[in-house]
Structure 1
Amino acid sequence: MTRHSDTPRHIVATPADADAVLRRLARDGWTLREGFALPDPAWDVAGNGLVLHGRITDPETLQLAVLAAARGAGVVAVCDPGSPLGRALADDLGRLGPLHHDDARPTEEDVIAALVPEQRALLERLAAGDTIAAAAAAEFLSLRTANRRIAEARALFGVRTTREAVLAYLRQRRR
């Protein structure tokens, strides 16, 4: 199962947007569960890889979603971000960590901006024909770190292969 450095916290406007996010999270190995009540009596559920999802329609549901996020669960909430509930949810979840609004698919410009310098350098070297091992050595990284950085770049671009990530990077870089 792929683990992210941060627990997913998404606020989306429609159930269709939520479905897109949930499909991606399921593909990444997260366990999905409808509703925001946690089944586990243990306080910290961060290691469970659990993402709770549903519609925020009242303050009680909002409180359950925030409590679940505070206990380490991922959250995908369907709520109008401009409504009072949506703003309160964004404020509360934002205090816990990174928050994604309407995260159906980031643009390539957003992805390029989100890449760290190590990822850019590795993608540049791969585009020039280096192997991952050669690129890692040239950038003074361990092979494991290089593979992690490239895997993070693949996830950011929303692609499955390193080749696709390099091609997406080159397309954007040329603009």
Structure 2
Amino acid sequence: MTVTTQPDAPRHVVATSGEADTVLRRLAREGWQVRSGFALPGASWEVGSSTQQLVLHGRIADDDLESVRLAVLAAAHGAGVVAVVDAGSAAGRALVDDLTRLGPVNRDTAVTDGADVIANLIPEQRALLDRLASGDTIAAAAAAEFLSLRTANRRIAEARQLFGVRTTREAVLAYLRQRQRQPE
């Protein structure tokens, strides 16, 4: 079995069905075929090809690790995934962790209404941002955190997306501002 990851395949983890509907409508306008559930339609179907872009969506219960497995498998085959899940639950954390290994995960609720983005960062992202704030380069920060440069760059890109900024410098500044506002 060949597993291919399509870097452009959308991966969204959202908190409500309304947010999922918004994302799904946008993806449908962009030409993605939307299908409910996370099971792949068949082993021979190329879900990541440019002619048959597929987005699977659904709700994942707090303890539904089987749906997490199916969603991650679909994403690994090139399908887009839009999951409604509590990001703080065991299933939510497992889903975000596993999808993050495949590429960036859009957590659309992370920056709405002035939410605290730092709470949504994984420990690797916090450690990298701390090192960048102290003047390290991404390469030096990656080495100090025992990460490959590629992984460090992915984690920083995900942090930029969470903060809603375009540059690493802006992400570091936003991180420092939010860190100063947090109680000790």
Q: TM-score range by the shorter chain?
A: 0.5 to 0.7
Residues 66 and 89, structure 1, Cα contact 8 Å, conserved in 2? yes
From 75, 99, 103, give the equivalent of 1:97.
103
Do the aligned partners of 2:35 and 2:56 also contact (CA within 8 Å) in 1? yes
Alignment match of 2:42 (pick from 40, 43, 62): 40
Question: Are residues 44 and 23 of structure 1, via their aligned partners in 2, closer, same or farther at CA, if it must alter by over 3 Å?
Answer: same
For residues 112-163 of structure 1, the C-alpha deviation after alignment (integer angstroms, 9 at most, x for no partner) is 8338xxxxxxxxxxxxxxxxxxxxxxxxxxxxxxxxxxxxxxxxxxxxxxxx
Structure 2 counterpart SS, 1:54: strand
The residue type equivalent to 1:71 in the other structure is H
Correspondence for 2:53 among 49, 52, 77: 49
Larger Rg: 1
For 1:75-120, what per-residue CA distance to the aligned partner results, in whole angstroms no more than 9, with x for missing partners?
000001111111110000000111001259989x9698338xxxxx
Q: Which residue of 2 aligns with 1:86?
A: 92
User: Alpha-carbon deviation of 1:22?
Assistant: 0.5
Structure 1, unpaired ranges of 5+: 116-175
Q: Which amino acid aligns with 2:100?
A: G
Of 58, 73, 77, the residue aligned with 1:67 is 73
Q: CA RMSD in A?
A: 2.8
* In structure 1, C-alpha distance between the alignment counterparts of 2:68 and 2:17, rounded to whole Å: 17
Matched, 1:113 2:119: no
TM-score by length of 2: 0.54
Equivalent residue pairs, number: 111
Which segment is superposed worse, 4-13 or 25-34? 4-13
Q: Is 1:20–1:104's contact at 8 Å kept on the other side of the alignment?
A: no
Mapped to 1, the partners of 2:73 and 2:59 lie a distance apart of 15
Does structure 1 retain, via aligned residues, the 8 Å contact 2:58–2:83?
A: yes
Question: Which of 23, 26, 48 is the equivalent residue of 2:25?
Answer: 23
Q: Give unpaired runs (5+ residues) of structure 2.
A: 1-5, 114-159, 168-184
2:11 aligned with 1:9: yes
Alignment TM-score, normalising by the size of structure 1: 0.56
CA shift in 2, pair 1:50/1:103, >3 Å: farther
Distance 1:54 1:90 in 2: 15
The alignment-based identity, stated in percent, is 59
